[in-house]
Structure 1
């Protein structure tokens, strides 16, 4: 009898502990979501956001003012990963005219970017000779979406180019004023005429 009572008491204490933990965590999660939403809603352009370099240093995107930026959510183990070759070629060709290719690693699709930042950097450098800037890994969709990608995919802010990312290697072309002017799907290759023409038009 006493044994049953003690057993039930232990179970009750366990349930209460879980409830208290959940209650303590929920406000923090809500606060994080609210902070991200607020940052997205107050932003006027990509220049209002900060990422981290792949080495972990702050990268304020307003440092790219006056540049044309091709921003790509990249992954190392994707069927589209060979597009790194075309992205590097595009960067090399137009870099002196003001083009910046910005690779943003993300593990949201198929777990195809599982490595650390150091591993990603080594892979891109050794296999594809990438010299364009890479950022630290971020989430590009879901509840933990990075504020920059919440901004880029918001259809209220960007009726033409907004909408959830569909896979790795979606590409956003951003003009010299920080405005998104084109969006390209995963299957659109950097060497495709429509992409090079759009880049050239933005560079004028």
Structure 2
């Protein structure tokens, strides 16, 4: 689970940000999957800062503190009796096709899995402003991916969500049998007072 109490920033004040579309899609997911929709979750939000932050109008392309999003998902998981990372995966599987629709889907179908992996850093930059991604070809249909800048508090969630996105993008580009192998998290110092970790993955397909 994720708790706002573990974050040394008031809601909306952290320098670790994500795109507003992730908040918007989360609310739509609640509306479509939970009885009572987003209201059934938001009425349980505690703390004036947290409640005020979530009541704002989120702009698709705007940048917003990522930690309240994780706290919102954690709250929804507790209310619905779902595992936190299970819900993170479910929301990502709902969001990713929405994000890859239209022009993104068209371009992905025109590209190749190798080109998609080469463009992985650009894909990450679109949604999180604190990650730095490197992608290196190891052999045919095998890449190593290195992601730095991720707060340890958010690492499990980020890995879960980005695994879904990488798999979906590769499959749209024509890859089959996609396998993602994670390496243990590596401490990588601090940023803005929070421990940071390095994420390593090996991505393969047939």
Could you say whether these structures have the same fold, taking a TM-score greater than 0.5 normalized by the shorter chain as the test?
no
TM-score range for the pair, normalised by the shorter chain length: under 0.3
Bigger Rg, which one:
1
